[in-house]
Chains A and B, each alone.
Chain A
Amino acid sequence: MDIFLQQLINGLTLGSIYGLIAIGYTMVFGIIGMVNFAHGDVFMVSTFTALIAFLLLTTVLGITSIFLVLAIVLVVAMAFTGLVSWSIERVAYRPLRGSFRLAPMISAIGMSILLSNFVQVAQGPRNKALPPILPDVIVVWDSGSYQVTLAYKQILIMVVTAVLLFGFWWLVQKTPLGRAQRACEQDRKMAALLGVDVDRTISLTFIIGAALAAVAGVLYLSYYGVVNFADGFVPGVKAFTAAVLGGIGSLPGAVIGGLLIGLIETFWSAYFSIEYKDVAAFSILAITLVFMPQGLLGRPEVEKV
């Protein structure tokens, strides 16, 4: 019971991070129907941006309040990652609209390789570690032999995720931008005919997805304290798994899928084998796509001729 509770807390924390990344996949897929393969690496870029900003604020500018630092890092990482994602869309994806079927996917794979190797060249291949941020924990339950703890940063991650998801939901449901987005999702040509600026909407979708990935990146950095140029790949695939599991194109699905993947991963590590945890995630991806391609909350795909 005590281990179960601890794993539940850890799983929800990890799941929040996956969910935030998964939204980027699912939004882009919903609006232009492509798997943005580079999204995982955009997330990795955001972790490095956060690391650099953190170092800049603490060592160069000498700010000591950790919450102020984290808030500034969050804003900087979101803005910069949004800019990166916007540029990627302009350079690598927009010229390919109307090209053959596999072109955007291949371009995205190229972009993913480009980003991770760019960071490797620019920042070096070694792990970059930070001193622990917010190391304090609350003991939630003490069974004598085992203490179930809830770290401050886990609370931070869940609160930030919840607040941002609410803000994001409001953006999509209640604002003109969200309306334009949903219109483009349903029928891009028709939306354009009715005066929606499709290019701008797609650009903004990429920026919002990247900003959410940047939030995940800042939280990931503060949770693990270590970043590496190759860190985009596995979290990226897992977040994509989350998006597929929840039903690609569905926003609540992405969050639920993210939490599920986070829980499955932590429970698998705790009760089965930690070596095969990535195998478990990859297998879920394959099984979901083969047997339930519409996911938990997605609409079944209708192929139009």
Chain B
Amino acid sequence: MAVGPVSASAPGPVAAALKDAVISAALTALLLVPLVGLRATEQGGGPLILTTRFGLVAIFGLIVGVLRFVLLLTIWHPARAKPGRTGPALFNGLGDRLAPVLKPAFFGILLVYPLLAVLGSGGLGPSRYWVDLGIYILTYVMLGWGLNIVVGLAGLLDLGYVAFYAVGAYTFALLSTSIPVSDFFAGALGADFWKAWSFWVCLPISGILAALWGVILGFPVLRLRGDYLAIVTLAFGEIIRLVLINWVDLTNGGAGISSIPPITFFGIPFTNSDGGFASLFGLTFDPMHRNIFLYFVILALAALTALATVRLRRMPVGRAWEALREDEIACRSLGINTTLTKLTAFSIGAMFGGFAGAFFAVRIRFVSPESFTFMESAVILAIVVLGGMGSQMGVAMSAILLIGGMEMLRNLTFLKSPWLLGPDFDPSLYRMLIFGFAMVAVMAWRPRGLVSGRLATIFLKHRKKVSGDLVAEGHG
């Protein structure tokens, strides 16, 4: 696993690989013995006892050893010629041919997805799971695209992105359940106005407030170097969460805010009454109408994020972001105001996080600080990193792969068979484990992302790898 390169000249590749494999297997087993082989188990209310699982350790050691042996004789074989991989895409030729139709096809599929879900599952009711899954994934696609502006385009590592998500969610939750605000609108525009319109009024407010917080938090810290910035944004994310927990008068603390009014079809409620959506459009009432509408709302929000990003990339400020990502010192010497440029990226990213937060609050109709932990930031960051920082399609693909893939893993019941992983196997436990591993692996093997690589938007004569690929440590 972690043993130096094997020289081909020594006793022969097979013997060397075997030796390497044995060492790796032994090392893996040694690393796993204390924490996997032995387990401190609770028994009732009494003291902890030790249980052992040495068989599992042996299996993992064997897997690593065999894998390493096979890899050393095939892919990592010293005599094997390196494949001439030129571009950053996973399947170059295929990628080039598919690229022009990929984006329209992608959006087309997203548009008809609810229809497919309804037809595929045979009715509105049974399609609920699939539509909800679509909403869930698209929320992460949108969050990924929002963070992509900050991390992928401007190269600012933001570990507190979930703070802006929380600001958006709480802005909407507090305003929509606030009695004074409701009374104010009841006096001016009718008793039911605020209940019907609160989401549509609060959506822009949530985004603007999140952007404002982005400016407030970003202004002092954006002069810091990359990893300091990451830690400070992490600290801000945690501060906001702790304030949400402890400021009970405003936020109701850890209990959260419930009974948030549901989404309406631009003022028309999704109810089974006379003025409701179903009766107005002459449909039979079904609670799924609201879910499908929610799907299209998040699709529109995500598309807005994507569109805004694409347009911004072609504007001077977007070009400045990309330049900043590659070489900050060069930017400064060319007269770009780096703090202001970073601030725009930070606050625009925050704004989209705020929109997504408001949507989250109206979908779940309940917000609590538990939804906005560091792990949530880490999931969004993992999506951006694995998708390839700066690449829109890459981020979307990785969100679908990571969030949807994990959800699918839950459905694989055969994994729970007693001879494989046991009936109490819970894939959601392994979710973050896999994300963490994937982040490390991608950085080591394909630092430009699994799905796609980032290239400069503008180029001179021909598109080539950006300089950042070739920049050694200590620069930029």
Contact = CB atoms under 8 A, between A and B. Distances in A.
Interface of A: 33-35, 45, 48-49, 51-53, 55-56, 59-60, 80, 83-84, 86-87, 90-92, 95-107, 109-124, 126, 128-131, 233, 237, 240, 273, 275-276, 278-279, 282-283, 285-286, 289-290, 293, 301, 303-305
Given A114-B436, A121-B433, A293-B224, A286 B1 contact: no
Interface string B4-39: 000000000000000000000001001100111011
Range, interface on chain B: 35 or more
26 contacts: A48-B40, A49-B35, A55-B49, A83-B30, A87-B2, A87-B27, A87-B31, A91-B1, A100-B447, A100-B469, A104-B443, A105-B226, A107-B439, A109-B378, A112-B436, A113-B378, A113-B433, A130-B47, A237-B231, A237-B235, A237-B238, A282-B239, A283-B235, A285-B235, A293-B228, A301-B225
B221 A124 contact: no
B111 interface: no
B402 to A, nearest CB: 13
A49 to B, nearest CB: 5
Given A233-B374, A286-B235, 4 more contacts: A101-B471, A106-B443, A128-B40, A283-B239
B83 interface: no
B49 A48 contact: no
A98 B235 contact: no
B472 A123 contact: no
A275 B248 CA distance: 11
A128 B49 CA distance: 11
B343 to A, nearest CB: 14
A52 B50 contact: yes
Contacts of B157: 102, 105-106
A246 B38 CA distance: 38
A106 B226 contact: no
Interface string B436-455: 11111001100100000000
Nearest to A49: B34
A239 B239 CA distance: 17
Given A101-B476, A289-B232, A56 B444 contact: no
Contact of A111 (B27, B375, B440): B440
Interface in B141-192: 151, 155, 157, 159
B40 A55 contact: yes
Interface of B: 1-2, 27, 30-31, 34-36, 38-42, 47-50, 151, 155, 157, 159, 220-221, 223-228, 230-232, 234-236, 238-239, 242-243, 245-246, 329, 374-375, 378, 381-382, 385, 429-430, 432-433, 435-440, 443-444, 447, 468-469, 471-474, 476
Contacts of B381: 106, 109
B35 A119 contact: yes
Given A92-B444, A102-B155, A290-B224, A56 B35 contact: no
Given A91-B1, A121-B430, A130-B48, A285 B232 contact: yes
A223 B1 CA distance: 36
Nearest to B329: A305
A30 B81 CA distance: 39
A289 B231 contact: yes
Contacts of A34: 227
A106 B474 contact: no
A129 B48 contact: yes
Nearest to A291: B220
A56 B228 contact: no
B34 A53 contact: yes
B342 to A, nearest CB: 14
A109 B48 contact: no
Given A52-B50, A109-B159, A121-B433, A279 B226 contact: no
A36 to B, nearest CB: 10
Nearest to B223: A290
Nearest to A36: B227
B35 A131 contact: no
A87 B433 CA distance: 17
B439 A113 contact: yes
A107 B155 contact: no
A80 B30 CA distance: 9
A105 B227 contact: yes
Contacts of A91: 1-2, 440, 444
Contact of A120 (B224, B232, B429, B469): B429
A285 B443 CA distance: 27
A80 B2 contact: no
A97 B381 CA distance: 21
A124 B34 CA distance: 14
A61 to B, nearest CB: 11
Nearest to A51: B40
Contacts of A276: 242, 246
A116 B437 CA distance: 12
A97 B239 CA distance: 33
Nearest to A112: B436
Contacts of B472: 98
A286 B238 contact: no
Nearest to B234: A237
B39 A290 contact: no
A48 B32 CA distance: 12
B344 to A, nearest CB: 20
A117 B436 contact: yes
Given A55-B40, A113-B432, A92 B440 contact: yes
B224 A124 contact: no
Given A35-B231, A106-B439, A113-B432, A48 B35 contact: yes
A114 B437 contact: yes
Contact of A100 (B31, B440, B471): B471
A-B complex: 5 closest residue pairs judged by Cβ atoms? A110-B439, A114-B436, A113-B436, A90-B2, A282-B235
Contacts of B235: 237, 282-283, 285-286
A49 B33 CA distance: 10
A91 B447 CA distance: 15
A172 B309 CA distance: 50
A292 to B, nearest CB: 12
A51 B472 CA distance: 42
B329 A122 contact: no
Nearest to A131: B47
